[in-house]
Each structure stands twice: as structure tokens, then as C-alpha cells.
Amino acid sequence: MNRHPVRRACARMLLLLALSLAAFSACAQVTIDGHITPGEWAGARHITDFRDVQPLSGKPGSLPTEAWVMSTPKGLAVAFRLAQPAGVTRTHQRTRRDEEALVDRVNVMVDFDGDGRTGYDFTVALSGSVIDEVITNESSFNKDWDGDWKHAVSEDAQGWSVEILIPWYIAPMRRAHGGKRTIGLYLDRVVGSTGERMAWPTASFMRARFLSDFRKVTLPSYTQSLLAVTPYVSAVHDQVHGGSSFKTGADLFWKPNGQTQLTATVNPDFGQVESDDLVVNFGAEETFFSDKRPFFTENQGIFDFGLLIDNSQLIYTRRVGGPADDGSGPADITGALKLNGSIGDTNYGVLSAQESGAAGRTFDAVRVSHHFQTQTLGALLTRVDHPFLDRDATVLGIDHIWQPNAKLTVTSNVVGDTIQQRGTTLHGSGGSTIIQYEMNPRWTQQWIAMHFGKTLDINDFGYLPRNNLNYVHWEVRRRFTDLPADSTYASHEWRWRIIGMNNDQGLTLQRQFRVISRNERRDGGTDYLQLNLDASGHDDLLTRGNHALRTHANATLFAERTLPRRGAWGWDLSANVSGNDLTGLKRIGYEIEVLPTYYFSDALSFTPGVSYTYQPNWLIWQRDNLVGSFDGRTLELDAALNWNLSERQELRVRLQALGLNARMRQAYQVGADMRAHPDATPIDDFSLRNLGFQIRYRYQLAPLSNLYIVYGRGGYALEPLLTSTGTQFRQSFNLRDSEQFLVKVAYRFEL
């Protein structure tokens, strides 16, 4: 009698084993070749309920779309069958990796832990071009990360098909239970000729919640381990100063199990193959640049800790290897280490980097985050040691997310710092909160509050454009998606925002009413309008900590129109008109930008972008409370030739040239009464020119293995004399402060 339960248990085990073997056999038959053959996807979850999310109507998509999802020992496998008859134009335009374009494409977005904290987007276009991104903070996409995953596309008269395989080692993920893993999943397709996006489930990154709205899918759990080493060698020849240099190093990636990932780099080469945009910045706030360096983009999502304002982050990886503390130029990095993983519902990350030399800094960070049923609580601790400056900076941040229901999301954080330098200790604090309430699919409200104390300083490792700030805003959004079929537009979204901003001394910095209109057109294009109405306020940064300047009431109108490719041409047009801080609307400035793209073929395109800016009464700080009022004119060329020869080869030529002249109108002393008083101090007119030119060839030797051949030239000249904008622009092509020829080979070995 006691033996019967044992027999039944044995029978269940045999049945489970048989089913597992059958499932494994079916999985083993999945070949990523873009062809969905009969029986290949047997046993996979079949999805057909794709609905419109762009426009966000929730109606069934206009074109039949099917998807299959299957967990295999080699990774998460997804297939799409996309009906697209002859009457619907197909877009075969090739793009560089991570390049945005309005083309036919599919997206697979996966939250491997199913908790709405971090997701990964895998995009495949009809042409075979790909994009991969990390998603944090519900709907913040970062293209800096590149992953190793497989994809293939095929096409026939009735439509096209895509197959994708995402290895389980692509990202750290929590331990599965009972042989099952519950992930968050979102699938969509975009029709390039119309801009229509149809998805499963009906979630949208235009809403307050996106990652949290992914469909929870339970799949068989598998674990993959991986050990990969990517050595590199680079050679640089300096055409200006002469001489050549060689450098070698290596990156290491180790995932011993599903819960742990280790990334390390030794003697990394972090520059030259990517180029930053030209920026002219005479303001008090630092310019933010993104980071494409592989070590810092791999598994970086756990360290995301934003403070809501602009690009603020507690970890801004461009600090590592940035300008050295002794002013000798960019710092060299000896090595860096990153460890990511999870223990139960707790995720953790450790990051450490060491620069070389007497002025080398040490960067350390520890991150921990725990997910509860409706809440997530986390902390991030960073420390930077500056031996050359006798400075030690420690920052602690605590963040919290609360989602009590599908309509309400509350995200909050607090941060504090301790700075010790040459026997002096300073402390600072701050925090921010955002409340998003989606009343229904049409109406949404948002509240934001921020406080950053006067002594808060996170910029040793992080990025904060300014401290000494108290900010609040209330925004209401209204969506219109049920438009007539014969309307030019597919949807409208209106936003109305009220902004209030003071510093810690109670000084009014800004009072603004903002109106935004974003309109999606049925041809795939978009219209965007933004109107800012500002009451008088104060600029407390202009004189770098001296007297604040009272600013006049002002208004700004910005308009942008994107016209998708039709035939050989595509266009992006924008214009901006505004008053100025000194005289308000009495003198109007403007900026016009024209970005046409001519397509010689689906693989070869040329964009000769041109912009012209007129800035009347442009206030530039000179010293103490002295500022100059200039009339500035800027002509800029941003041209690019992109030739995507194949999925493995690309040639990119990028030319940015800028000419600027600024005619001095009047010198002013900003007085204790916060008024600008005319002053007789002589201030020179000035002219500026800037050049950035790069030719870059990339050949993909294997996944995440590349050969780069790069020629780069650049220069900058600032002169205390006035010449025409056109003259400065033409003379910018003669600049030659730097000129380099670089060859770099990096090859990834999987051991």
C-alpha cells in the first residue's frame, strides 16, 4: 500500500523526463536562419493578438502578425511571421548598428527578472540591421550597450520572417525556482511606410509605465556559463607631431552561472573610434556626453541612479579616464572590474576602476537593490580618491519605487555626500520624487519635486548640472487616438506643464507655463511643437557665484517636422525663436536647422545638415560680476556619409564644421540689486571656429570582434577679433590641431 505513491511518483518523473526530452528535441531543431519551417516551433507559445500602440488606440493591428516564443538550452528563441502584401511598401534601408530609422522592424524586449526594473531591447530590421538597448526607469532607453545575440531575416511575396536567439548569458538574472523562470516580455512590429506600431501586450513607452506592463511569461529555465576574453591591439600615428604609438590590452567576461557576471579590463583603449559632437559652451553648466566604451556599457543597468534633472546620474562613467587631476590631459586607466549578480530577490553590483600615474584616481561603487511585491528599495555608494588633490569624495544614494496599482507609480530618492579635502570636510544632501498617475488611457498627470542643497557635490563620479535648486512641476497629458481614417494624423498628444524653480536662498529662478504638442502622421512622420512662457526670474549661475541677474519675462517657440524617406529623400526640419534674458521679447533670436538625407541606395546615404543661429544680447561671463552682451551668429555644418556595405562592413564619414562671430554690444556689471548696469570696461569682440572630421571603416570579424581603420582630424580656434560668420566657417576647414591615423583590432575568444 505504501508502494503505490512511490510508483505514481516514478511514473510522474518518467513522464516529466519524456516531456523534457521531447521539448529538448524540439528546441534542438530551432535553427536561426530566418525561415520558420513546419514543426520547427512546435511547443512554442504562439502569439497573434497584436494591437496598435502607435497610435495608442489598442485596436487590432492592420497587418496580420504572428510570433512564437520558446525557451531553449541555448537561449530565449523568438520568431515572427509578418504579413506585408505588395500594396504596403517595404523598407530595405540598411543602417549602422543602433542607428534609428523609420524602417520595417521588430522588437523583442525582455525583463529577465520580471520585476519591471531592467529590460533589454533587441531590434531587427527587414534589411537585417540591428539595435540593442538597455531599458531602465520604465522607459529610458540606452543604446550604448552592445550584446552578443543571433538573428536572421527572410522575405517572400506575402511578407517576411525573423528568427532571434538571445543567449541566457546576455544579462544577469535571478535564480529560477522549480525549473521555471518568469520573465517580462513585450513584442512589437513597426511598419516603416506608415509608422504604425502593433504590439503584444498593449503597452507603450509613451505611458508613465512601460517595463512594468510587460506580459509575465513562465518558461522552462536554463542556465548558460560563458568565459570570453577580448584582447586588442591598436596603433596610432600622429600626423601633426609625428611619431607612432602602440597599445595592447584585454577585456574579460565571465558568467559562471545565471546569477553572477564578472567583467574586467586591463590597460583598456577607450578612445578614438567614437567621436563626440562639437559643442560650444560658455555657460556655467557642464556638457554631458554619452559613453560607448564597452566595459562601461556591459551590465551597467544596475548602476542607473538618476536624479530626474536632465542627464543627472550618481555614476557618470565618462569621469573615469577623463581629464587628469594634474591637467596633463586624459588619464590612462590601468584596469577596471565590475561584478553583477543576485541573491534571491536582491540584485547587487560592484564597480572599481584605477587610473595610472601619480595623478591617477580610484573609483569605487557598490549597488544593491531589493524587489518586494509592489516596491523596490535600493542603495548606491560611490567613492573617489584623488591623491594628487588630497581629496576624498563619498556619495550615498537611496532610491525607492512604489507601484501600488497599474495606474500609480511613485519614484523617490535621497542622496548625501561627504567631501574631505586638505583637512576640510563638507556635507551636502538632496532628493527628488516623481509621481505619475494614469487616470485612464487618455489622461495622465505627473508631479515632480526636486531639492539639491547648496553644498551637494556628486560630480567626482556622477553628473549633476547644478546644485542649490528647488524645483516642482505639475503636468497634465491628453492623448487623442480615435481620429478619422481619412485624417492626415494618426494621433495627437498634448501636454500642459507649470514649473516653479527657486534656489536655497529663496530666489526665484523660473516660473514657466509650457505647452507641448506631439503629433504622429499616417505617413510615418511627426510634428512637434513646444511653447514656453516665462515670467521674470533670476540667473544665479551666470556670474559663477557672484551676484544673480534678474531676467526679463520671455517666450520660446520650438517646432520640428520629420518627413520620412520618400523615394531618394528624407527630411528633418526644425526652428526655434525666443527672446533673451536681458531685454525679453524686445529682441528676438532664432535657430534654423535643416537635415536632409539623400539615399543613393538602401545602403548608401548622405546627410548635409546645416544650422544657423542668431543670438541677440547673448550674455557671457568675463570675471567677477562683469558680463558682456554680444550679438552672436553661428553657422554649422553636420554632414555624414554612411555606407553600410553589408551586415559586417560599414564606412562612415563625419564632418562637423562651425563658424561663430560675436559682436560686443555692451559691458555690464551685475549689481547687488541684481540689475545689469552698463559699464565702460572694454571687452573684445570674438570669433570662433571648430572642426571635427572622421573617416571610420569597421569590419566585423565575429560577434563583438571588430577591425577599425580610422582617420581623424580636428581643431579649435578662439580669437579676440571680429570676422564674419562665413569667414570663420570657411577657415574652420584649415584647422589641424590634431590629426591621427588609427588601426585597432579586437577579437573575442569564447573559452
Site of grid cell 511569461? 217
pLDDT of residue 275: 76
The total number of structural domains that make up the chain:
3
> Exposure string (b/e) for 349-388, b if CB count within 10 Å is 16 or more?
bbbbbbbeeebbbebbbbbbbbbeeeebebbbebbbbbee
Where does a domain end: 428, 446, 465?
465
3-state secondary structure of 91: coil
Is 294:274 a contact under the CB 8 Å cutoff? no
Residues 576 and 714 in one domain: yes
> Exposure string (b/e) for 284-303, b if CB count within 10 Å is 16 or more?
eeeeeeebbbbbbbbbbbbb
Determine the Cα–Cα distance for residues 605 and 643; give it in Å rounded to an integer.
Answer: 7
Beta bridge partners of 475: 446, 497
Phi, psi of 5 (to 5 degrees): -60, -35
Q: Tell me, yes or no, whether 214 lies in a domain.
A: yes
pLDDT of residue 72: 95
Site of grid cell 503597452? 203
Greatest distance between any 2 Cα atoms in the chain: 108
Q: Tell me, yes or no, whether 53 lies in a domain.
A: yes
Q: Tell me, yes or no, whether 13 lies in a domain.
A: no
Residues 203 and 331 in one domain: no
Q: Tell me, yes or no, whether 722 lies in a domain.
A: yes
Residues 176 and 303 in one domain: no
CA Rg, the chain, in Å?
28
Reply yes or no: is the peptide bond before residue 330 cis, omega within 30 of 0: no
Q: Tell me, yes or no, whether 18 lies in a domain.
A: no
pLDDT of residue 295: 86
pLDDT of residue 10: 43
Where does a domain end: 465, 497, 519?
465
pLDDT of residue 270: 57
Pair type for strands 649-670 and 584-599: unpaired
For the record, the C-alpha cell of 187 comes out as 513584442
Residues 397 and 314 in one domain: yes
Residues 118 and 208 in one domain: yes
Among 262, 480, 462, which residue's Cα sits nearest to residue 382? Answer: 462
What does the pLDDT look like over 459-502, one tens digit per residue? 999 999 999 999 999 999 999 998 998 999 999 999 999 999 99
Beta bridge partners of 111: 184
Taking CB atoms within 8 Å and a gap of at least 24, the contacts of 323-327 are 324/355, 324/357, 324/359, 324/360, 324/388, 325/359, 325/361, 325/386, 325/388, 325/389, 326/358, 326/359, 326/388
Determine the Cα–Cα distance for residues 96 and 131; give it in Å rounded to an integer.
Answer: 9
Residues 200 and 295 in one domain: no
Neighbours of 177 (CB within 10 A): 9
Residues 437 and 567 in one domain: no
Beta bridge partners of 124: 106, 130
Neighbours of 613 (CB within 10 A): 19
Residues 451 and 579 in one domain: no
Would you say how long the chain is, in residues?
Answer: 751
Q: Which domain holds residue 361?
A: 263-270+286-465
Residues 392 and 292 in one domain: yes
Q: Tell me, yes or no, whether 501 lies in a domain.
A: no
Among 314, 249, 254, 320, which residue's Cα sits nearest to residue 291? Answer: 320
Determine the Cα–Cα distance for residues 414 and 424; give it in Å rounded to an integer.
Answer: 24
Determine the Cα–Cα distance for residues 302 and 307; give it in Å rounded to an integer.
Answer: 15
Residues 426 and 574 in one domain: no
Residues 636 and 556 in one domain: yes
Write the CA distances from 499 to 242, 328, 515, 535, integer angstroms: 54, 42, 11, 11
What does the pLDDT look like over 600-643, one tens digit per residue? 999 999 999 999 999 999 999 999 999 999 999 999 999 999 99
Write the CA distances from 59 to 180, 202, 317, 679, integer angstroms: 33, 9, 42, 65
What CATH number does the domain containing 89 carry? 2.60.40.1190
pLDDT of residue 16: 39
What is the helix (H) or strand (E) element at residue 696, kind and residue range? strand 686-702
Among 102, 159, 162, 93, which residue's Cα sits nearest to residue 129? Answer: 93
Q: Which residues of the chain have pLDDT under 70?
A: 1-29, 270-272
Determine the Cα–Cα distance for residues 666 and 681; give it in Å rounded to an integer.
Answer: 9
What CATH number does the domain containing 347 carry? 2.40.160
Determine the Cα–Cα distance for residues 633 and 614; give it in Å rounded to an integer.
Answer: 5
What CATH number does the domain containing 742 carry? 2.40.170.20
Q: Tell me, yes or no, whether 535 lies in a domain.
A: no
* CA 525 centroid distance within chain: 22
Residues 558 and 698 in one domain: yes
Where does a domain end: 412, 435, 465?
465
At residue 340, what is the residue type? N
Beta bridge partners of 183: 217
**CB contact set of 77 (below 8 Å; sequence gap of 6+):** 27, 30, 32, 44, 68, 69, 70, 71, 163, 164, 165, 166
Please give the model's pTM, rounded to 2 decimal places: 0.90
Q: Tell me, yes or no, whether 516 lies in a domain.
A: no
Q: In what order do the strands lie in the sheet with 65-72?
A: 45-47, 65-72, 75-83, 159-166, 150-155
Site of grid cell 558680463? 627
